[in-house]
Amino acid sequence: MMRPSDIGNPPYVARVEKIESDNRNNVKVRVRWYYRPEESLGGRRQFHGAKELFLSDHYDVQSAKTVEGKCIVHSFKDYTKLENVGAEDYYWRFEYKAATGAFTPDRVAVYCKCEMPYNPDDLMVQCEGCKDWYHPACVGMTIEEAKMLEHFVCFECSEDDFKQFQNGFHASPVSDAKVESKRHKR
């Protein structure tokens, strides 16, 4: 964590690549910046979590005196497995090109009827049929209702179940085609 240029702003986050001193014994750190979503060209989007950072291709040399403390920038997978998220826990899932605003990867899995990438700050429920994840609000539930649920089957899957029941044991070709057309990536 490094002191921001404006005192009111949150600290900058960087990965220290090298520590060295110059010929006058000033200690310098070579850093690779993490960008917060609001610092990126595209700005913060709905699926960006509060603790999300982008690993940029922007390097700098700074005085070691600007270092304020330490934090942990987890991989996205590790972050989603944390039992408790502390103030020092952050994550990254995208690399970011500071000059062009491009992200790597430029495609990620999307979920729910709203087809959004996963925001780990938002509660989602998993359908036992299609295994897709849904935001409670997108399937007409409150967060409190979703937390109480022991089982969840989405509307499409409960309709498919009903059709299979009507058609007998074998699913019709129509319902097979429907399952195959479900998109999980874009």
Residues that bind Zn ion (CB under 5 A): 112, 114, 127, 129-130, 135, 138, 154, 157
Report in angstroms how near the CB of residue 144 gets to Zn ion at its nearest: 17
Report in angstroms how near the CB of residue 126 gets to Zn ion at its nearest: 9
Give exposure, 116-137, as e/b (b: 16+ Cβ within 10 Å).
Answer: bbbbbebebbebebbebbbbbe
Nearer to Zn ion, 98 or 138 (CB): 138
Nearer to Zn ion, 22 or 144 (CB): 144
Dihedral of CA atoms 58, 80, 116, 40 in degrees, nearest 10, equals: -20
Nearer to Zn ion, 11 or 129 (CB): 129
Report in angstroms how near the CB of residue 154 gets to Zn ion at its nearest: 3
Report in angstroms how near the CB of residue 160 gets to Zn ion at its nearest: 8
Q: Element (H or E) spanning 148, and its range?
A: helix 143-148
Distance CA 51, CA 79 (A): 10
